[in-house]
Amino acid sequence: MTNISREIETVSKMVKIYCTKKHFTKSNLCEQCASILRYTEAKIKECPHLQETGNKPSCRRCKIHCFELEKRAEIKKIMAFSGPKMLWRAPIDYARHLFR
C-alpha cells in the first residue's frame, strides 16, 4: 500500500468515526462528511509536492496549504475529535499517522 492510499484510508476512518459520533450515522456518511472526505482525497492526490518530488509531506507540516481555510478548519476539527478514538479503533493506523 502506498503512502497516499494509506493516508486516504486513515482520513476515511477518521471521518467515519466523526460522522458516526457527531451526526449519528450508521453505515453511510452524511452528505457534509462525504463532501469533506471527497475534497480531502482530491487534495491529497493533487499534492504539488507529490507531483514535483514524488514525496508528500504531512499537510500539517506543509508550507503550501492547498486546502481552503474553511475546509482546513473542518478537517482539523474532525481529526482532533477522531484522533484519540483511533488509538482504540485502529491503533496501527493511529501510530503511523502520529509518527509520519
Per-residue confidence of the chain (100 residues) as pLDDT tens digits?
578 888 899 899 999 999 999 999 988 999 999 999 999 999 998 888 777 777 777 777 778 878 999 999 999 999 999 988 888 888 887 677 667 6
Q: What is the pLDDT of residue 98?
A: 67
DSSP symbol at 61: G
Q: What is the pLDDT of residue 70?
A: 95
C-alpha cell of 58?
Answer: 504531512
CA distance 33 to 50: 25
User: What are the residue ranges spanned by the domains of the chain?
Assistant: 3-99
Q: What is the pLDDT of residue 100?
A: 63
Q: Which ranges in the chain belong to alpha helices (H)?
A: 3-22, 31-45, 48-53, 69-89, 91-99
Is the whole-model pTM more than 0.75?
yes
Do residues 80 and 42 lie in contact, with contact meaning Cβ atoms separated by under 8 Å? Answer: no
